[in-house]
Structure 1
């Protein structure tokens, strides 16, 4: 990893942390909330996961692949609420997974951040969403919009670059969480571990991050902009073997 890319990653860390802090606040205000997420797109590009907490970290990529409340909200520009996300006839391809047996209800609130940019704030629950759930999400809608606008300004007004960089940060933060959990180290130590591994195997940190999450979770975690190749998957496998070796 070059010094330039390292500097860019560090520059985007505060924005990534702000998005995660926003979602943590959302989760804390909603009874029974198991996780929240922010997805966004620009123009005709597909939705990207920019930040996720709790069960949404693993469930949302599967939902985007099969359809679900977030995809419907993005397509219709209307809020979506469901009492049982896996039994809802609006997205028949989204079937229940044993890993997400605790998830029942979901809410997705769409918003705009420029003429061609859209985002969706969503939350997942262990029960039917409460009557005030949409009101809580709407209180955070403007803050989310402002955060994305600030991010766009920081990339000289290029919204596509904004989403790519934030998606990269989201992937790295998720991989850092994996390293923290298995090594019981600090987030900074986890970041250094990913950097060293990317340098050793000559792969991009963001591709290593996605490959590691996919290797541990056993499912695709990539986006159209972050598709790890064979070298990144090999690096992730070697890294995980080093973590789990007795």
Structure 2
């Protein structure tokens, strides 16, 4: 992610306003929700707050500094939930920090859902509540995940001012979604688990997620992976093809 995107609140006010409206909609849809937030990070850089609504505007900087669901979700790529953020023993420093801030006294439940918009760009969509979490909280956040991702893709492309980069980002997303479908079908798993499988494999074999995704689809389909019309083709290299073969062998081993 470019520095331009990290400073989107200053340079891309329309995007920031869109994201804030999205977060306010999430807050209004979830019973007991005190606020929602969006953090972004890329290439090993620590996550930073891009937009926030309600109590999340004050809580997110504290959480990123002292640990908590958002920081863990950003680091692991897994959804993180808690029914009582201030009393959760996993984050004692955060608990103490919340206790020192009267404006956060009503915070109880919290949920953080990670996502991505290109190879090394990740985001976390989060919400905080005045009660323990309802069962459907992550499901609601997942419904907004794609809209968040699309907004970030537009922001990244706009910050570069390069139409070709927009097409590259679209190609990456299409390839990853196809590969996730393959993993879901063979492992009978949830989309989150499919994405984590691809992410871990890309790290293990030191290849880009998008190249691994295309290589996996081509390996399974025994032919070129279909892509969106008018979008540049992604050509995986030999390391990505080797990684795809190893991954598929692991899936189908008895």
- Cα offset, 1:99, TM superposition: 2.6
Which protein shows a greater Rg? 2
Distance 1:75 1:99 in 2: 27
- Map 1:1-246 to 2 at 5 A: 12-95=12-95, 96-97=98-99, 98-156=102-160
| Structure 2 residue matching 1:148: 3-state secondary structure | helix
- Superposed CA offset, 1:43-95 (max 9, x none): 11111100001111111101110000100111111101100001112212112
| Structure 2 residue matching 1:153: 3-state secondary structure | helix
- Unpaired runs of 5+ residues, structure 1, are 1-7, 159-246
- Cα offset, 1:100, TM superposition: 1.0
Distance 2:86 2:30 in 1: 20
| Structure 2 residue matching 1:130: 3-state secondary structure | coil
- Cα offset, 1:16, TM superposition: 0.8
- Superposed CA offset, 1:182-210 (max 9, x none): xxxxxxxxxxxxxxxxxxxxxxxxxxxxx
TM normalised by structure 2 equals 0.57
Distance 1:10 1:126 in 2: 31
Distance 2:19 2:10 in 1: 15
Distance 2:110 2:56 in 1: 11
What CA RMSD, in Å, does the superposition of the two structures yield over aligned residues?
A: 1.8
TM normalised by structure 1 equals 0.59
Distance 1:117 1:157 in 2: 18
- CA shift in 2, pair 1:109/1:157, >3 Å: farther
Distance 1:157 1:45 in 2: 23
- CA shift in 2, pair 1:9/1:114, >3 Å: closer
- Superposed CA offset, 1:157-195 (max 9, x none): 79xxxxxxxxxxxxxxxxxxxxxxxxxxxxxxxxxxxxx
- Cα offset, 1:155, TM superposition: 1.4
Is the 8 Å Cα contact of residues 9 and 50 (structure 2) preserved in structure 1?
Answer: no
